[in-house]
């Protein structure tokens, strides 16, 4: 894994700050909207008081007439401000939803950040090698998986992406999957991949044996959505480091022997890809 790839991974951490900033702006706008609506309610109350005072049926004094006009003008101004604020909130919420729905981590400035929504293919993640006579479990549509990009020919520099299963084609023994990321034009890429290039991501509640120290695995690099080859340094049960309890301690390939921490649900059995 080269340093250029590493830089793009680290840069994706900026997305978390952007989402947090966006959420704070939404909260501020909601407080502003609440204030506008309260003020508008007071204006309506004042207008109703004038209309129920009896002046409307008789002649309205000049001062009352002017006050009523001011109330209406103020009401119109508040209504315009309310509409503008609501539209602003809707726009920001739409952006936030787009960021979150793409995945748990999303793409900003070409960086990957994707969300996990997965089920487990036990025949792959439990560390056993299924017999050819054993019927392969078919992943249903909607299953989130780690998928090997088909354009990569060099198995020494593999990059696996988060994707969603669209359909399984038994006649071809291939999955039709869709990258959960959107490109700069808002489009998503779809691939037809062999079963061996599609790995389901296990549920958080699924209990499975830990990978022992020294085991080669496929793990999600911190702050990104890309899965890369790594070596387990310490399993969750033996990792006592502060702020990383319950996490795998791993070293990624070509990462200057730096120690990283990976979520157990994002550490997968190393696939055996035949050439």
Judge contact between 122 and 137, C-beta under 8 A: yes
Whole-number Å distance between alpha carbons of 216 and 230: 6
The whole model's pTM is what? Answer: 0.48
Judge contact between 267 and 211, C-beta under 8 A: yes
Q: Indicate the SS3 state at residue 234.
A: strand
Alpha helix stretches (DSSP H) within 103-174: 122-125
pLDDT tens, position by position, 205-226: 567 789 999 999 998 888 777 8
Total count of residues recorded for the chain? 275
- What is the DSSP-derived secondary structure letter of residue 264? G
66-79: average pLDDT: 88
| 178 or 274, which is more confident | 178
Q: Specify the pLDDT at position 101.
A: 55
Inform me whether the pLDDT recorded for 59 exceeds 50.
yes
Kind and range of the H or E element at 87?
Answer: helix 62-102
Place of tokens 């520099």: 157
Find all residues with CB under 8 Å of 212, minimum gap 6, and list them: 232, 235
């Amino acid at each position: 894994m080269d340093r250029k790839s590493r830089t793009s991974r680290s840069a994706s951490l900026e997305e978390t700050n952007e989402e947090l900033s966006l959420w704070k702006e939404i909260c501020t706008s909601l407080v502003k909207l609440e204030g506008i609506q309260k003020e508008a309610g007071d204006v309506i109350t004042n207008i109703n008081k004038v209309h129920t005072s009896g002046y409307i049926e008789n002649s309205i004094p000049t001062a009352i007439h002017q006050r009523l006009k001011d109330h209406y003008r103020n009401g119109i101004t508040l209504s315009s401000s309310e509409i503008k604020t609501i539209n602003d909130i809707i726009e920001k919420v739409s952006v936030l939803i787009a960021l979150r729905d793409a995945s748990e981590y999303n793409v900003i400035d070409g960086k990957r950040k994707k969300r996990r929504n997965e089920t487990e293919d036990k025949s792959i993640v439990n560390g056993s090698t299924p017999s050819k006579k054993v019927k392969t479990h078919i992943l249903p549509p909607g299953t989130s998986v780690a998928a090997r990009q088909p354009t990569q020919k060099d198995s020494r520099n593999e990059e696996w992406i988060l994707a969603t299963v669209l359909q399984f084609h038994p006649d071809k023994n291939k999955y039709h999957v869709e990258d959960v990321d959107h490109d700069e034009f808002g489009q998503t890429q779809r691939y037809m991949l062999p079963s061996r290039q599609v790995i389901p991501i296990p549920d958080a509640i699924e209990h499975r044996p830990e990978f022992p120290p020294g085991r080669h695995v496929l793990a999600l690099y911190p702050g990104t959505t890309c899965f890369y080859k790594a070596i387990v340094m310490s399993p969750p049960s033996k990792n006592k480091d502060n702020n990383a309890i319950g996490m795998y301690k791993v070293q990624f390939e070509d990462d200057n022997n730096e120690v990283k921490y990976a979520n157990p649900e994002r550490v997968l059995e190393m696939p055996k890809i035949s050439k």
